[in-house]
Amino acid sequence: MASNKQGGSASRRAVSILLRAFVTLVMVATLNFVLFRVIPGDPAALLLGAARTSVTVEQIEAQSQRWGLDRPLVPDQLVQYVATTFQGDFGYSFKFRGRHVTDLILERLPATIVLVGLAQFIAIICGVMLGVYAGWRRGGAGDHIVTGASLALYSTPAFWLGMILVVIFSTALGWLPGYGAHSPGAITGSLDWLLDYLRHLALPVTVVALGLIGQYVVVARAAMSDVVTEDYMVTARAKGLAGGQMLMRHAFRNAMLPVVTLITLNLGYVVAGAITVEAVFAWPGIGGLTVEALNARDYPVLQGIFLLLGASIVVANLVADLAYGFLDPRVRQ
């Protein structure tokens, strides 16, 4: 009987979470439409490119009619946007002369996933381990060193750190390239291509990973510091359990709830990329595409990117909410 009640409670909780996620997506889509309509500048004039200083009013009006920019925002453009979005159609790019937005995003997405995904993997492993160590040994010399370094990394702007690494390792030492994803010129052989790609990937991955490591250390250290003072930890210590047993059986799992939240949210940002880092290293990912679209007032591309970002964050929150039930039985109840 009790198991049936718990199952029904878990089902209601899952349905509630899914419903909130759907409502949030609808709100994100609506705000997504409004946000990019208040950006200064006339996209119809920008569509005419470098010759826009000498264009006529008739040319601007023709561009507006071609792309539907002459119609009222509400309800015409809003209804069209919602209808096409729910069909999976993000429209066509202004800047890239009519290319489909979905094609542009899918073209840039792999580079971003490789960059941010690899940096996330490195940061999760290193950051959580260092944070747990600092929290378990709080007050010691190792705790002070790890916490101080992590706070410094966490507060350092990514673009500034990226430029410093470019100056040192690319310009001064010449060890690693600091621009693009591949060296100019033909590369013979798949192995040479892979090695060249990894060399270009090294610096941007390092910048993104260092910033994320700082976040994970700070959160994991704070969570572990709270857990070690709980009554059940005192009881376990009084029973004579070894430090390793206390850490793995009791402390680690209970300290993971805030860390899981941070991990899932950061994984949601994988598809968005690190805009400033991609701009510094000219990495051909979603972040670079965002900058190009912003400069060109390319509404469809911006809407597609930010809707994808919003959906990824909502899904990440959904995964975090569901994961809580497995990590802490009190959440299921």
pLDDT tens, residue by residue, 17-38:
778 878 887 787 778 777 766 6
The arithmetic mean of pLDDT across residues 5-14, rounded, is 63
Task: Give which of 260, 284, 271 is closest to 311, Cα–Cα.
Answer: 271
Task: Give which of 229, 221, 205 is closest to 128, Cα–Cα.
Answer: 221
Asked if the model's pLDDT at residue 252 lies above 70, the reply is no
Q: What is the dihedral of CA 53, 55, 59, 61, to 10 degrees?
A: 50
Structure-model confidence comparison of residues 201 and 224, the more confident one:
201
Cα–Cα distance for residue pair 142/17, rounded to 1 Å: 40
Burial of 163 (0-12, 13-18, 19+ CB in 10 A): middle
pLDDT at 274: 75
> Worst-scoring range by mean pLDDT, 155-164, 231-240, 278-287?
231-240
The arithmetic mean of pLDDT across residues 49-75, rounded, is 64
Asked if the model's pLDDT at residue 80 lies above 80, the reply is no
Asked if the model's pLDDT at residue 273 lies above 60, the reply is no
Radius of gyration (C-alpha) of the chain in whole angstroms: 25
The arithmetic mean of pLDDT across residues 158-175, rounded, is 85
For the chain, percent of residues with pLDDT exceeding 90: 1
DSSP count for the chain of H helices, then E strands = 15, 0
pLDDT at 51: 47
The arithmetic mean of pLDDT across residues 90-102, rounded, is 77
